[in-house]
Amino acid sequence: MDVADRSRGEGPGEGAPDSIPDRGHGAVLARVLAGDRPADLRRHRGQFHDVVVGSRRVVCFARTQAAGARLAGRAAVLRAVAGLGLGVRVPEPLAQGGGAAGPEPPHLVLTRVPGAPLDPARLRERAVADAVADQYAALLRRLADAGAAAARGGLPGTPRDRWHRFAADVRDGLLPLMSAAGRARAERELAAARGLPHRESALVHGDFGPENVLWEWSGGLPRLSGVVDWDGAAVGDPAEDLAAVAAGHGDELLAAVLARVGAPPDTAERVAALRGTFALQQALGALRDGDAAELADGLRGYR
């Protein structure tokens, strides 16, 4: 989990532009992105991957051994999502390399989805905010319609005991690292998550932060061009993606999206409970992967 604002441990996304240690990346980039000038490449550091964006292809380097082991599964999820006809572009896997497959660092080569994350300052413009809310709502409706097809296509469902297992894992692994006040906060958030009803009514992206939603501009208004980073895609509760919209863009845009999708009365409560798990999800994932920096970031508000 790497939601909207990694500096507060609340957020999904592949992260903001950052310096990335080479760790053998150079040889892969010279081969895969041979037509691109190094100075033109964009680099992003996410929780699980170091991402290098070229003109036509993207290379995702696994940051940890565990993330490397998940690359094949990531490619399979992308193929399944691409077949659902969601009306937006998604990355298509082209090749996997490294690890047991050779001397290169573990990586996945993907097609590049055009567009860029939305500049949050533009949401202060009413016409832009309305266009963004319209398109988020339309995508969420398509994700809801795709739920049954996603299940038939082999994408996983959400386990009924997901939040109970999550709470047990947080207590075992994370609570000992927290202050007393942090443990009290975590217990409140875990209680809210355990009280969530089980739902499998939509395809859920699972990491719907602003860095993963790409836009192009036409006539002064944004057009949703694509969505990336589908690693956590599953059939589940659409409130999880709505919670990421709230974490990434704020409650005002969330309210506008909710008004457009005709959400059930309990949606706001589910959104709040799910949003409360984001930092804990980030910290737990980092603990499992042995990523000390992401663990510290996820636990920042609990120490």
Give CA angle at 162 (207, 12), nearest 5°: 10
Question: Within its chain, how far is the Cα of 290 from the centroid?
Answer: 19
pLDDT surpasses 90 at 102: no
**What pLDDT is attached to residue 152?**
87
**What pLDDT is attached to residue 10?**
37
Helix or strand holding residue 52 (H, E): strand 49-53
- The residues, any chain, with a CB within 8 Å of residue 86's CB and separated by 6 or more, are 139, 142, 143, 146, 227
Average pLDDT, the chain: 90
The catalytically annotated residue of 2, 207, 237, 289 is 207
**Residue 101: how many CB atoms within 10 A of its CB?**
12
Has 207 been annotated as catalytic?
yes
Give the tens place of pLDDT for each residue, 226-235: 999 998 899 9
